[in-house]
């Protein structure tokens, strides 16, 4: 913490130029509020408080080992974890449902499908055929929706088609194959209500079940459906950081996770009549500025949108600074991570706020719900509202830009398909590098950005530097990617931070030691990479020299992601524990017994070097198991 111009301490950031910028702001941000919230409730941290009924809130202490109803620490903790995982899973299922509906409606309207290769791959996986791409896309979308809408007692069919067969066998043996994904969320919420389930192990198994439906549908299939509609990622260089904000344009910052909800708007903004409107208002045209995970998705597919997308500016806890530059004229939100803290900044700088999904409705924003059939009228309404805001605000607002922030040549567009293509069409070159020891192993550093465990992205960036210095290549997905790229670890020059063997590989291939797969949804892409590597080698996933870290996990969605990782049998590092340490059963199952259930385990450590050492030791153990 150090003193800011605003008059209170701001938290540290791995991104030092950003930290200095925020310290000079004349407005409050989340970075300023960390200090006032430093004192945490000890009962909350351990998960041993309960306010589910009027007898409470109850809390567990040495003198009061049970709540009034008789629930002990194990029940309170696992009930709370299941409730959080169910909520997180619900968020992702909402996203995949809307994505499937938008793909179906686009196909029915015979709109443009930019990823024919992705469509053919899905048809092959699902065993579907059709007379043309539109019929195929409708069938694919219907297959996903049909599974989502099944009751909880009817198993989803696509799990059998998409899951790696050794994993499927384990899941069947454990009885954690999910039923309909929406119904599983409902069942999870019911199970953790008052005076119902009191079996902590049963509730933890339900968390794994929700993790599977979250991962296969909310993560993996959302990406693949997006690929059909939006176009597949292509490896390229792109700018990142606050440098991407060009004040000569009308700038719209996008926040959320649902790229398919503004496809029509995105295309409309480059139409001749709309550009003419922008020019009449005094601008060169419109630009979309990436922020949060949907910005990562725009960046990932940016090769398809060079005329409208300026670049990815930053992650969730950079969004307030992006707005404080004065160069953003409107915020279009459709999901999290849209911070409540942006609202007073938008008001103070006359920035228009529009929400197109009411789950992301901000208190002082205009709600314009996305309805596919009304998309043209909606796009035109948004365009007119943003132009009006631009005309009103620009004469009143002083620009406070950071034109040198970030990097111009960050590698992006990495996916399971584009990476394999880069390697020559198969995974053998990567496997050979791992077998030879030139790459010791793979670490997926994924998930959120937070302002704890050292500050904004501090543990995440520190861990990544430690991992690559040990010749461990890092694959990223999520808001954490925004911090890592803004700190310069995704440019080819970052090879200098890598260990001697990995550095040599990076220089030979012309790549950085950290490869960005995009939004948190792209954790599903990492799962595809892991599955295909395991299949190519002929082992189950827990045998791979592969580890996961959600070093600065933040939200309930991250907990659902984590449960997917555990169900896959992968070691999962967290900088801080979820609120479970008050339960001996939960701690034992997650950190020890899970290894005998799925092969996964949770590792908790908030020190970058120590965490890297622990993960490296696991990788070396896996290498020994493979005799390499």
Order of all β-strands in the sheet with 236-240: 366-367, 352-355, 330-333, 250-255, 286-291, 309-314, 236-240, 407-412
Answer whether residue 523 is part of any domain.
yes
The verdict on 421 and 566 lying in the same domain is yes
When divided into structural domains, the chain yields a total of 4
The verdict on 514 and 610 lying in the same domain is yes
Mean predicted confidence (pLDDT) in 363-383: 97
The verdict on 318 and 371 lying in the same domain is yes
Each residue's pLDDT tens digit, 532-585: 999 999 999 999 999 999 999 999 999 999 999 999 999 999 999 999 999 999
The verdict on 262 and 196 lying in the same domain is no
Answer whether residue 119 is part of any domain.
yes
Structural domain for 486, as ranges = 414-625
* pTM of this prediction exceeds 0.95: yes
Mean predicted confidence (pLDDT) in 268-287: 98
Q: What was the pLDDT predicted at 7?
A: 57
Answer whether residue 462 is part of any domain.
yes
Percentage of residues in the chain having pLDDT higher than 70: 99
Q: What was the pLDDT predicted at 1?
A: 45
Each residue's pLDDT tens digit, 480-526: 999 999 999 999 999 999 999 999 999 999 999 999 999 999 999 99
Answer whether residue 458 is part of any domain.
yes
Answer whether residue 60 is part of any domain.
no
Are residues 231 and 114 in contact, defined by beta-carbon separation less than 8 angstroms? yes
Banded pLDDT at 9 (limits 50, 70, 90): confident
The verdict on 589 and 441 lying in the same domain is yes
Mean predicted confidence (pLDDT) in 376-404: 98
Residue that finishes a domain, picked among 230, 263, 284: 230
The verdict on 541 and 589 lying in the same domain is yes
Banded pLDDT at 208 (limits 50, 70, 90): very high
CA distance linking residue 457 with residue 450, whole number of Å? 6
Answer whether residue 44 is part of any domain.
no
Residue that finishes a domain, picked among 167, 195, 230: 230
Residue 417: closest CA among 312, 543, 301: 301
The verdict on 567 and 444 lying in the same domain is yes
Each residue's pLDDT tens digit, 27-49: 999 999 999 999 999 999 999 99
The verdict on 374 and 329 lying in the same domain is yes
Tell me, what CATH number does 85's domain have?
Answer: 1.20.1270.30
Answer whether residue 204 is part of any domain.
yes
The verdict on 332 and 387 lying in the same domain is yes
Tell me, what CATH number does 497's domain have?
Answer: 3.40.50.2030
Are residues 591 and 563 in contact, defined by beta-carbon separation less than 8 angstroms? no
Q: Which two tokens stand for residue 468?
A: 């690559």
Q: Output the average pLDDT for the chain.
A: 97
Residue that finishes a domain, picked among 230, 261, 294: 230
Answer whether residue 236 is part of any domain.
no
């Amino acid at each position: 913490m150090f003193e800011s111009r605003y008059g209170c301490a701001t938290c540290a950031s791995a991104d030092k130029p950003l930290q200095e910028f925020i310290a000079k702001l004349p407005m409050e941000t989340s970075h300023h509020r960390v200090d006032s919230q430093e004192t945490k409730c000890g009962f909350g941290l351990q998960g041993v408080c309960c306010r589910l009924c009027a007898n409470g809130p109850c809390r567990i202490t040495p003198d009061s080992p049970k709540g009034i109803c008789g629930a002990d620490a194990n029940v309170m903790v696992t009930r709370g974890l299941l409730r959080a995982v169910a909520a997180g899973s619900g968020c992702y299922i909402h996203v995949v449902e809307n994505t499937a509906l938008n793909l179906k409606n686009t196909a029915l309207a015979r709109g443009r499908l930019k990823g024919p290769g992705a469509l053919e791959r899905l048809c092959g996986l699902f065993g579907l055929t059709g007379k043309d791409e539109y019929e195929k896309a409708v069938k694919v979308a219907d297959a996903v929706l049909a599974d989502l809408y099944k009751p909880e007692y009817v198993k989803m069919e696509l799990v059998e088609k998409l899951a790696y067969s050794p994993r499927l066998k384990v899941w069947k043996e454990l009885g954690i194959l999910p039923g309909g994904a929406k119904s599983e969320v409902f069942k999870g919420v019911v199970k953790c209500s008052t005076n119902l389930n009191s079996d902590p192990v049963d509730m933890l198994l339900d968390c794994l079940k929700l993790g599977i439906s979250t991962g296969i549908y909310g993560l993996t299939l959302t990406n693949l459906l997006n690929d059909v509609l939006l176009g597949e990622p292509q490896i390229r260089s792109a700018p990142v950081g606050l440098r991407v904000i060009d004040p000569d344009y009308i700038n719209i910052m996008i926040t959320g996770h649902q790229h398919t909800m503004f496809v029509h708007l995105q295309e409309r903004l480059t139409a001749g009549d709309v550009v003419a409107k922008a020019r009449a208002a005094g601008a060169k045209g419109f630009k979309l500025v990436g922020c949060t995970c949907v910005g990562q998705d725009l960046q990932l597919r940016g090769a398809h949108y060079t005329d409208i997308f300026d670049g990815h500016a930053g992650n969730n806890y950079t969004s307030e600074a992006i707005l404080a530059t004065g160069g953003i004229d409107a915020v279009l939100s459709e999901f999290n991570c849209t911070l409540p803290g942006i609202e007073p900044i938008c008001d103070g700088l006359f920035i228009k706020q529009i929400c197109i999904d009411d789950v992301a409705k901000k208190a002082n924003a205009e709600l314009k719900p996305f309805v596919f059939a009304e998309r043209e009228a909606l796009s035109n309404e948004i365009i007119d509202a943003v132009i009006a805001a631009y005309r009103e605000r620009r004469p009143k607002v002083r620009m406070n830009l950071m034109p040198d922030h970030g990097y111009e040549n960050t590698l992006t567009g990495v996916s399971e398909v584009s990476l394999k293509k880069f390697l020559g069409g198969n995974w053998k070159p990567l496997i050979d590098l791992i077998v030879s020891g030139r790459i010791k192993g793979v670490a997926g550093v994924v998930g959120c950005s937070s302002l704890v465990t050292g500050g904004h992205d501090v543990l995440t960036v520190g861990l990544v530097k430690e991992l690559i210095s040990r010749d461990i290549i890092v694959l990223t997905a999520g808001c954490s990617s925004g911090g890592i790229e803004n700190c310069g670890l995704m440019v080819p020059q970052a090879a200098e931070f890598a260990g001697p063997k990995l550095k040599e590989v990076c220089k030979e291939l012309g790549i950085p030691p950290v490869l960005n797969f995009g939004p948190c949804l792209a954790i599903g892409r990492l799962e595809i990479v892991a599955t295909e590597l395991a299949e190519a080698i002929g082992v189950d996933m827990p045998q791979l020299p592969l580890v996961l870290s959600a070093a600065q996990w933040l939200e309930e969605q991250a907990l659902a992601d984590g449960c997917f990782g555990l169900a896959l049998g992968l070691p999962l590092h967290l900088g801080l524990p979820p609120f479970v340490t008050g339960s001996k059963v939960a701690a034992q199952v997650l950190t020890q017994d899970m290894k005998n259930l799925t092969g996964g385990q949770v590792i908790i450590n908030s020190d970058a070097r120590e965490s890297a050492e622990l993960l490296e030791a696991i990788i070396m153990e896996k290498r020994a198991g493979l005799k390499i």
